[in-house]
Structure 1
């Protein structure tokens, strides 16, 4: 676990290339973040696939290649496909399945290029290989997606993922790996039942979870809130903050909010303002960004 303020490449360099592709990860690596993120969902044959959701339809051409493999809800599930079948799909910029329009219009054009899905093992070998050839130590930041869904389908994604991480040398807080999950019960199980000694981050989705920091501190080393959970009302044109960061720091928890997007600023007038306010006024410890180059440059300058 690295100190000082850290940059986490969110789904790779996803502001520039389709998320969670090897190309996106290689580009992110070249931008010199501290960590590169991997979201993980199991295939039918229990291989952790690097993809953001349990569904395939909004980032691949699965509906064209395997039209008969959708479930009753009209969704295509990663878990219904073997690794070999998943290799046949083309990955594209994220799009709305109803309108077919891409989510971020200024990003890599939808349907262009030749991008594929890959496994956690393949991505670790890319990052470790680059660490070897460049003499750096860029870390990995895996997240297991929807462990409850996996359990209901008879799969233990936590155990499978931890075993792979261990095989590649990621075992303790000293190793360049941070493990994250939204599911509180599962993350607590990872620490207490599966006895992982990795640096664990409890992701926070709902506002009521903010009240549970003391409990999170009994098994996690950090929290990953939505950045808006850190912001309070603006007073005289200045941003004010909730007590989330302060309270987390008092409990010894690091704070890594999501997601810093230069093309989706909302309440901020510029990406620089967003980073300035959250890193140096709210005092966060790191951030997930689709634009790792911009965050690295900002932190180097400040």
Structure 2
């Protein structure tokens, strides 16, 4: 098969078995149970239709019938994990109006209470005025309520020492590290060191590296990551095949989730390369292009 999808069972710590993403089994394909099609992941939620990384965006993904959502996690000055993409609050909130003297408005320089006051929806549309930046706790509870699965990105880990351990602790407290949830979670980062820390701390967690290592480097990444997730414009059929040829830390072939694909032509092209997942701001467009819903 030239396309493979996810959710298989692999051995975990202490001899128990935990469900892990792997391009080996036929479950979850195309978000509609279509075996042989890539999984479609809603980028920052359904961010083509609602303000990114908000509860509204993951609710919209659920309304569209999407199972997988992706988000970004950073940390406030007082240690709260929040869901936001940029290291500055300026682009997606009204922080400049509310706190005019606090430039450059970095997430790490604001308390959780201050960030909770911000409007994270009006920049996108007046219809979303008053939408808030969610804490990771709020976000995980909504994902669970929606019965969604999560591709969680640790953003800018160099700015937040210890964020890997803190994120895993919160996930554990919310029940996302138990057997029933592990198959619904992938943790990724652009930092290979950060992904390695997550794997070392919780080997049962499925991990992904955001980027495109050279083929010669792939064997090193395979020690601690289950997926290699490059941008779509960097991919080729040969590269995907090289990734699939290696086994990851759980003994399954490495997978490939590519980003960020928002049109039908590109979706069909990368599906033809054999990718296991496609991350999109307009996941319904991708799903329709692949004939999976």
Regarding TM over 0.5, the answer is yes
Deviates more, 1:84-93 or 1:219-228: 84-93
Does the 8 A contact of 1:260 with 1:290 survive in 2?
Answer: yes
Partner residue, 1:164: 170
Change (3 A) 1:220 1:283: same
Matched residues in 1 for 2:279 and 2:126: separation?
23
Which aligned pairs between 1:90-105 and structure 2 lie closer than 5 A?
Answer: 90-92=119-121
In the alignment, does 2:81 pair up with 1:76?
Answer: no
218, 227, 234: which is aligned to 2:223? 218
SS of match in other structure, 2:52: coil
Deviation at 1:174, TM superposition (A): 4.2
For structure 1, which runs of at least 5 residues remain unmatched after alignment? 95-107, 132-137, 231-240, 262-270
- Using the TM superposition, give the Cα deviation of residue 184 of structure 1 relative to its aligned residue in structure 2, in angstroms: 0.6
Give runs of ≥4 in structure 1 deviating > 4 Å.
Answer: 207-211
Pick one of 240, 244, 247 that aligns with 2:239. Answer: 244
SS in 1 for 2:101: helix
1:69 is paired with a residue of what secondary structure?
A: coil
8 A Cα contact 2:237 2:274, kept in partner:
no
> Given that residues 268 and 290 in structure 2 are in contact (C-alpha distance below 8 angstroms), is that contact kept between their aligned partners in structure 1?
no
Task: Give the equivalent residue in structure 1 for 2:207.
Answer: 200
Q: CA deviation at 1:242?
A: 5.4
Q: Which residue of 2 aligns with 1:257?
A: 258
Which of 71, 80, 103 aligns to 1:47? It is: 80
Q: Provide Cα deviations, 1:54-84, integer angstroms capped at 9, x if missing partner.
A: 11111111111011222xxxx2111111111
The residue that corresponds to 2:141 in the other structure is 125
Q: What residue number does 1:30 align with?
A: 63
Instruction: Tell me, in whole angstroms, the C-alpha distance in 2 between the residues paired with 1:254 and 1:35.
Output: 16
Match of 1:185 in 2: 193
Corresponding residue number in structure 2 for 1:146: 156
Structure 1 position 277 matched with structure 2 position 272: no
Residue 115, structure 1, aligned to residue 110, structure 2: no
* Structure 1 residue 120, shift from structure 2 partner: 1.0
Q: TM-score, normalised by structure 1?
A: 0.77
Matching residue of 2:14 = none
Which residue of 2 is the match for residue 16 of structure 1? Answer: 49
Cα distance, 1:165 vs. partner? 1.0
Q: CA deviation at 1:243?
A: 2.2
Q: What's 2:13 paired with? A: none
CA-based RMSD of the aligned residues comes to 2.1
C-alpha distance in structure 1 between counterparts of 2:202 and 2:62, whole Å = 30
| Superposed CA offset, 1:205-226 (max 9, x none) | xx66564211111110001101
Q: In the TM superposition, what is the alpha-carbon distance from 1:130 to its structure 2 partner? A: 2.4
Structure 2: runs of 5+ lacking an equivalent: 1-5, 8-26, 30-37, 247-252
Q: Conserved in 2, the CA contact under 8 Å of 1:29 and 1:36?
A: no
Shift of 1:278: 0.7
CA deviation after TM superposition for structure 1 residue 114, in Å:
2.4
SS of residue in 2 equivalent to 1:259: coil
TM-score, length-scaled by structure 2: 0.80
Displacement after TM superposition at 1:301 (Å):
4.1
User: Which whole-Å deviations, capped at 9, do the CAs of 1:25-61 have from their partners, x for residues lacking one?
Assistant: 1001121223111200101121111100211111111
